[in-house]
Amino acid sequence: MQVLFLSPAYPPEMIEYTRGLAEVGARVLGVGDTPAHALPEKVRPYLSDYLQVPSIMNEGDLIARVKQWLGGRHVDRIEAQWEILVLTAARLREQLGVAGMSYNTVLGFRDKQLMKERVERAGLRVPYAFRASTEKDVIDAAHLIGFPIIIKPIAGAGSADTYRIQNDEELHRVLPALRHVPEVSVEEFVDGEEFTFDTVCIDGEPVYMNVAQYLPRPLIARTNEWISPVIVTVSDLNQPKIRAGIELGKGVLKALGMGTGFTHMEWYYKPNGEVVFGEIGCRPGGAHLVDQMNYTSDIDLFREWARAVCHKHFSAPTRRLYNAAIIFKRAQGEGTIRAIHGLDAYKQRFGQWICTEQLLPIGAHRRNWKQTLVSDGFLIVRHPRWEDALHMADIAATDIQMYASR
């Protein structure tokens, strides 16, 4: 089994997927723009061969170079787990005659407007939305839908360049900030709780499922620096509102023609009990969500994803033992981390439930909180009881404080 894997060392979590492939017996042929001599030591043992390309983002050049590099070598699978490369992987599959999801199918997981159209045709509830490529398009769509609205990139990931707009004044204030985005989706703002639906699928059928709740909703967390965002996986998937979201998610997978691999979907639960589709990607959730799922079930989904991809099999238990919460911290001030308060007391109080703590150390420079959800580090805690997991997450969010100065 030979698997061509795009960008095996960046972002850093790609190393774990590379490891997973190697551990289930695949020969991993890596393609990336990191120079071979600069590949992290951690990833090198898992690569059977590696091609450096000038730019991983230059699809045409990458495909030409991969074809030349492979020569007559056979490849069984072509995979990418980084959102911006899933279409390139699909294009490579079609060019090389490799089995897997087609470009058109993957496009339905990448183009947010096309995605909603395909899901809506299956009779599932989606936000009312319009595609817009000019400021006039955006204004016209906003008036058709009615405020409040959400504006987000057609091919975006996470909450980058995403805005909630309340009125015309806010709309005209935000429009200049979107001029670098080629196309946006202008859509109805759905008021409600926001959840994920995550799967590992084999031929479109989920063999592992996860639901997590955002606290608060990502759009709120992305626009308020003082907030410590929290995401909590739900151990009990039998709750009525969770079951409704799972059924919606399964319908979405069918509507979009999912094949084999990870999916990450977001959905809303409205106060009236209605569930509404948000968006979906045919790749794993970011910001350590796969780590959370591993801690939820005490398994290795990096390896199980690889087993599904290579052997159409999933061997880990799917029991859900814990509610696992990740708490992202943002330092107060700018510059270098100078102090961390409350961490030692938190560890003494909840040490047995702490899975990992990866806050930036004293002396490290603050990250740009607007560019990464991970911000200035995170903790993951878990507990069998939902209320206790939430309690620990709330205390970490409020009592642990990081301070920076120049």
Could you report the per-residue pLDDT of 113-138, keeping only the tens digit for each? 899 999 999 999 999 888 899 999 99
DSSP 70-97: HTT---SEEE--SGGGHHHHHHHHHHHT
Does residue 160 register a pLDDT over 80? no
159: confidence class by pLDDT, cuts 50, 70, 90: low
Name the architecture of domain 190-321: 2-Layer Sandwich (3.30)
Res 213 pLDDT > 60: yes
Q: How many helices (H) and strands (E) does the chain have?
A: 13, 18
Confidence of residue 400 (pLDDT cuts 50, 70, 90): very high
Residue 12 neighbours by CB distance under 10 Å: 10
34: left (phi over 0), alpha (psi -120 to 50) or beta: beta
Confidence of residue 158 (pLDDT cuts 50, 70, 90): low
- Pair of tokens at residue 56: 């991983």
> Looking at the domain covering 128-188, what would its CATH class be?
alpha beta
Q: What is the pLDDT of residue 373?
A: 87
Residue 134, φ and ψ in degrees, nearest 5: -130, 165
Res 157: pLDDT: 61
pLDDT confidence of residue 279: 94
Overall residue count recorded for the chain in this entry = 406
Radius of gyration of the chain (CA): 21
Q: Does the pLDDT at position 212 exceed 70?
A: yes
Q: pLDDT, tens digit, for every residue of 358-397?
A: 999 999 999 999 888 899 999 999 999 999 999 999 999 9
pLDDT digit string, tens, across residues 40-52: 999 999 999 999 9
We find that the CATH architecture of domain 2-107 is 3-Layer(aba) Sandwich (3.40)
Domain ranges of the chain: 2-107, 128-188, 190-321, 323-406
Task: Tell me if residue 212 falls in helix, strand or coil.
Answer: strand
The whole-model pTM stands at: 0.92
Write the Ramachandran bin of 257: left for phi over 0, alpha for psi from -120 to 50, otherwise beta. Answer: left
